[in-house]
Amino acid sequence: MEPTLKAAPNFCVERDCERLKKAMAGLGANEKEVIEVMGHRSVDQRVAIVQKYKSMYGKDLFAKFKSELHGHLEDCVIALCYSPAEFDAIELRRAMRGAGTDEDALIEILCSRTNEQIRRIKDIYPK
């Protein structure tokens, strides 16, 4: 299966971090700019942005997104920051947390992944 978001040509992680910092400075976030950056980068590029943002500014980008974005946009942008295996592990935990389980989520994840993808989820899950 091919990813739907391709690597951005001329990707510069520092420039993207600067754009995100500026987009979330002051009152309210420039949501269009956040979407422009995070919605047009590959998984590897988004993971690099999260790591570089922390090293450049000493702040966690997840926390910044949580404080500046809201609702479905917040959920979507945060989900984009995880690798596919990390996201699946998070969703599996959510599906089994508390009373009852979300069988639909379990089936969707576990029955639609390859053995290699399930191994990656298993490696991440205990963390």
Domain ranges within the chain, ordered by starting residue: 13-80, 84-124
Q: Is 20 left (phi over 0), alpha (psi -120 to 50) or beta?
A: alpha
Report pLDDT digits (tens) over 31-75. 999 999 999 999 999 999 999 999 999 999 999 999 999 999 999
DSSP 31: H
CB atoms within 10 A of CB 94: 11
Residue 108 neighbours by CB under 8 Å, 6+ apart = none
Predicted TM-score (pTM) of the model is 0.81
Q: What is the pLDDT of residue 3?
A: 65
Residue 105 corresponds to which tokens in the numbers above? 């989520």
Range 13-80 has CATH code 1.10.220.10? yes
- Residues 108, 46, 10, CA angle at the centre, nearest 5°? 130
Q: What is the pLDDT of residue 100?
A: 85
Matching fold, domains 13-80 and 84-124:
yes
Q: 84-124: CATH homologous superfamily?
A: Annexin (1.10.220.10)
